[in-house]
Structure 1
Amino acid sequence: MKLNNEKDALLDVVNQKMNDLKDTLTLSIEFSPDEADLAGAFKEDALSVQDAEDSSIG
């Protein structure tokens, strides 16, 4: 696990990249795996099988 000051610095970089993307939608910015994780790129929010079955009409 990263030290708090390293994580804070990484979060500052991510926030700046996200602000740059918001200002220029066609801009292509690279994110490191840690930066992408902090930005929410790997957040799993898919339905579970049970949720999908519960929501089906039938």
Structure 2
Amino acid sequence: MTNCTSCKGQYDETDARAAAAHTEPVHCNARRTCRCQGKPGCYPCGDSFCLCSSH
């Protein structure tokens, strides 16, 4: 198991889907100033800051 620096959770680095969710950045087109821009899918963005489909 690996600790994620974004969400502080753990994931199995041998699971490709889990690894991608914790390491690959999402492409948020909702707003340029959205705080999830460049962050992985697991990033706890919150509804008040993000309207992208990934979060």
**Structure 2 length as normaliser, TM-score?**
0.20
Q: Larger radius of gyration, structure 1 or 2?
A: 1
Higher strand residue share: 2
Higher helix residue share: 1
**Structure 1 length as normaliser, TM-score?**
0.20
